[in-house]
Amino acid sequence: MKKYLALTLGVLTAIGGFVDIGDIVTNAEAGARFGLGLTWVVVLGVIGICAYAEMSGRIVAATGRPVYDVIRERLGPRAALFNLIASFIVTLLTLAAQIGGVAVAIQLASGIPHVVWVAPVAIGLWILMWRVKFEKIERILGLAGLTIAVFAVSIWWLDPDWSALSGQVMSITPPPGEPVPTYLYYAVTLFAAAMTPYEVFFFSSGGVEERWTVKQLGIQRANVLIGFPLGGLLSLGIAAAAAVAILPLGMEVETLGQVVLPIGLAFGLAGMIVVLFGFFTVMVGAAFETAMSCGYMLAQYFGWQWGKRKQPKRAARFHAVVAGSVLLAFLIVQTGVDPVMITEVSLIGSAVALPLTYLPVLIVANDRQYLGDHVNGRFGNAVGLVTLLVVLIAAVAAIPLMIATGMGA
């Protein structure tokens, strides 16, 4: 049983990376506008994040050090600084969106405006990180987040036209009436959501927290090959439910409340309770990941003591950065800005920052000085290079597409 529970780090990382407030709404809106016509993007994203997460886990197992620490040493502090600045800003914005998303989920359940809940959510998150052990957090939130599978279950209950859904999956062009730039904008944001930089930082740092060695390479790869594809399937379930229930209505999805329409139609109040619980847990998980990643990045760059296992007096600066990041994120959301808008902006920023994250990982994964016999093989390099090419295209196209489409409007 302990062996199976060891897989929950990958489940938590994947669910937090694939299914947060922005991804939930973006997948639902993509499903409502394009059906399952962007499935190919999610598949590319899953393959890419699996390739680079596996490299990151292997770096941890072979060196006993997190990826960011090795990158700084291998490329030098100046090159790593660009990665740090871009990744930290994107991750902080994503943390703000998650805190806001949890507050919105509570609003849907209570009817009380989400701004009232922002402070309690931020305080609760800080207490969770302060008092609950890493293993318990990853297991509880990782497994509880699987309730999002209710979207996939709702598809069968709604009895869709399966041939139409299959046709959408096979399509790689926008449906009639949808502009190509808008279609490509959603393709870029979905890909960026799958490849968000903090996933690598959290996954590799979590591996150090769990003390991976080369003897645990099998567990590390199982985390990757089970957790991330599972996250991709959950996100496709959201898109498919929207394609079945919302696309025929010609309705746009802009809020979290509209996303739950397929669940309400399929299962009524009971389904709504399940899905709101799922939203709550996945966004708390994503908030935990992003808050910890903020601390991991800065501590590993500057060479501070770090780790959730370490007492604050032994890693004071790390814990201060984590707490300070939660405070900054709280202040951003407390202004009343829409959490969905925050995440959409962070996804574009993520797309631009992706090459700064993944190129160094590929370089280190091929360095025998660090990995010895555990360097990339030909297949790993082939997948890594193709993914990096897609990452570069997404980075170049992100901002022009955002401007041209008015953020997908």
Query: Following DSSP, what letter does each residue of 177-236 receive, concatenated?
Result: TS-HHHHHHHHHHHHHHHT-HHHHHHHHHHHHHTT--GGGHHHHHHHHHHHHHHHHHHHH
| Cβ pair 49, 194 in contact under 8 A | yes
Closest of 12, 258, 347, 351 to residue 249, by C-alpha: 258
Task: Count CB-CB contacts under 10 A for residue 75.
Answer: 17
pLDDT, one tens digit for every residue, the chain (409 residues): 444 444 454 455 556 555 777 778 888 989 999 999 999 999 999 999 999 988 988 888 888 888 778 888 887 888 788 878 888 998 999 999 999 999 999 999 898 998 899 999 999 999 888 888 776 776 777 677 788 889 999 998 888 888 888 899 988 888 888 899 999 999 999 998 888 888 888 888 877 877 778 877 777 787 788 878 888 888 899 999 999 999 888 888 888 888 999 999 999 999 999 999 989 988 998 898 899 999 998 988 888 888 877 887 888 999 999 999 999 999 999 988 888 888 888 888 888 888 888 888 899 899 898 888 889 989 999 999 999 999 999 999 999 999 999 887 7
| Cβ pair 182, 406 in contact under 8 A | no
The tokens for 122 are 């931020």
Q: What is the DSSP string of 145-170?
A: GGGGGHHHHHHHHT---HHHHHHHHH
What is the rounded end-to-end Cα distance, in angstroms, of the chain? 48
Domains belonging to the chain, first-starting first, are: 2-405 (1.20.1740.10)
pLDDT digits (tens, 9 = 90+) for 90-122: 899 999 999 999 999 999 989 899 889 999 999
**pLDDT at res. 2:** 45
Q: Rounded to whole angstroms, how far apart are CA atoms 234 and 146? A: 8
Helix (H), strand (E) counts: the chain: 19, 0
Q: Rounded to whole angstroms, how far apart are CA atoms 34 and 274? A: 26
| Cβ pair 228, 45 in contact under 8 A | no
Residue for token pair 């957090």 = 137
The tokens for 67 are 């990826």
CA distances from 255 to 10, 21, 203, 307 (A): 28, 10, 29, 36
Residues making up the chain, counted from first to last? 409
Residue for token pair 């490509």 = 184
Q: Which amino acid is at 244?
A: V
Instruction: Identify the sign of the CA torsion 312, 313, 317, 320.
Output: positive
Q: Rounded to whole angstroms, how far apart are CA atoms 17 and 51? A: 15
Distance of CA 238 to the CA centre of its chain: 15
Q: Rounded to whole angstroms, how far apart are CA atoms 212 and 204? A: 10
For residue 304, the SS3 value is coil
Closest of 145, 193, 125, 212 to residue 11, by C-alpha: 145
Ramachandran angles phi, psi of 313, nearest 5°? -70, -20
